[in-house]
Amino acid sequence: MKDLSDILLKQLGRRAKAGQRTRDLVASVLPDPLADALAFARLDGDCLVLTVATPGAATRMRFCQRDILAVCAKADMTARTLKFKVAPATERESTAVQAQGDPQSRAISEESAARIGSLAEDVSCDALSVALKRLASRTPR
């Protein structure tokens, strides 16, 4: 008689492989930078649940919803709706993304920084002023 842990481990392995196949299928219709943000995909009834790295990636993937559902239909999957879950990248993954030139970590020109800095001084909202000053500090080093 097989041990319960062996049975559970095999079930978990099958689910992981199915999720990876689903992820690869969905990633095949996404542009490269967006496909890299897709961590996992699984089918839950008629809902395709996509786990992505950032909220921005989830928003951009919503624009690809028609293509995603079409490729699922071709693969005989019963997905009718999409649901997104955001799972932040681990420390190692986020360091690798920054090394590749993450758009959020890019510097801005000195002229843009000066304009944003002067705008920050004129804004009456403290929170917006702080955010603009932080943005203005992103000049080339």
Domain ranges of the chain: 4-104, 107-141
Question: How many angstroms separate the CA atoms of 90 and 47, rounded?
Answer: 26
Report how far Cα 116 is from the mean position of its chain's Cα atoms: 28
pLDDT at 28: 92
Question: How many angstroms separate the CA atoms of 138 and 126, rounded?
Answer: 19
pLDDT at 6: 81
pLDDT at 13: 86
pLDDT at 93: 54
Question: How many angstroms separate the CA atoms of 62 and 121, rounded?
Answer: 37
pLDDT at 18: 84
pLDDT at 123: 82
Residues 86-120: tens digit of each pLDDT: 987 665 555 555 555 555 556 778 888 888 888 88
State which fold the 4-104 domain adopts: GMP Synthetase; Chain A, domain 3 (3.30.300)
pLDDT at 101: 52
In this prediction, the residues of the chain whose per-residue pLDDT falls under 70 are 1-2, 89-106, 140-141
**122, 133 Cβ separation under 8 angstroms:** no
**58, 86 Cβ separation under 8 angstroms:** yes
